[in-house]
Amino acid sequence: MKQQTIYYHTLPNGLRMVHVATTAHVAWCGLAINAGSRDERDGQYGLAHFVEHTLFKGTVHRRAHNIGCRMERVGGELNAYTTKEATMLYSVFPAEHLARAVELIADLVMYSVFPTEELTREMDVVLEEVASYRDTPAEAAYDDFEDIAFAGSGFGHNILGCEEHVKAFTSQHCMEYLKEQYVPSNMAFFSVGPMHPDRVFRLVEKHMGTMHHPLHRSPRMAPEPLPVRHEVVQIGAHQAHTVMGARLPGMYHESRHALMLLNNILGGPGMNALLNVEMREKRGYVYTVESSLTLFTDCGLMEIYFGCDSGDVVASRRIVERVIERMATAPLSERALTAHKRQYCGGLLVSADSTEFVAMNAARNLLFHNHVSTIEETMERIMAVTPAQLAQTAQMLAGGRLSSLTLK
d(CA 364, CA 369): 8
d(CA 408, CA 394): 29
Q: What is the pLDDT of residue 120?
A: 92
Is the pLDDT assigned to residue 66 strictly greater than 80?
yes
Paired residues of 389 in beta bridges: none
pLDDT in tens, 376-402: 999 999 999 999 999 999 999 999 999
Dihedral Cα 294, 295, 301, 306, nearest 10 deg: 20
Question: Which residue, among 56, 32, 50, has the nearest Cα to 184 in the 3D structure?
Answer: 32
Confidence of residue 363 (pLDDT cuts 50, 70, 90): very high
Instruction: For the chain, give the percent of residues with pLDDT over 70.
Output: 99
Q: What is the pLDDT of residue 149?
A: 93
Q: What is the mean pLDDT of residues 231-245?
A: 93
Q: What is the mean pLDDT of residues 57-64?
A: 95
161 phi-psi bin (left φ>0, alpha ψ -120 to 50, beta other): left
Question: Which residue, among 244, 260, 373, has the nearest Cα to 316 in the 3D structure?
Answer: 244
Is the pLDDT assigned to residue 2 strictly greater than 60?
no
Task: Give the DSSP H or E segment for 4.
Answer: none
pLDDT in tens, 158-187: 899 888 999 999 999 999 999 999 999 999
Q: Map out the domains of the chain with their CATH numbers.
A: 5-208 (3.30.830.10), 230-407 (3.30.830.10)
Q: What is the mean pLDDT of residues 266-293?
A: 94
Dihedral Cα 226, 301, 306, 277, nearest 10 deg: -120
Which of 138-152, 282-296, 322-336 is predicted with the least confidence, judged by mean pLDDT?
138-152
pLDDT in tens, 95-145: 999 999 999 999 999 999 999 999 999 999 999 988 887 778 888 899 999
3-state secondary structure 285-329: CEEEEEEEEEECCCCEEEEEEEEECHHHHHHHHHHHHHHHHHHHH
Cα 73 to Cα 37, 55, 262, distances in angstroms: 32, 19, 45
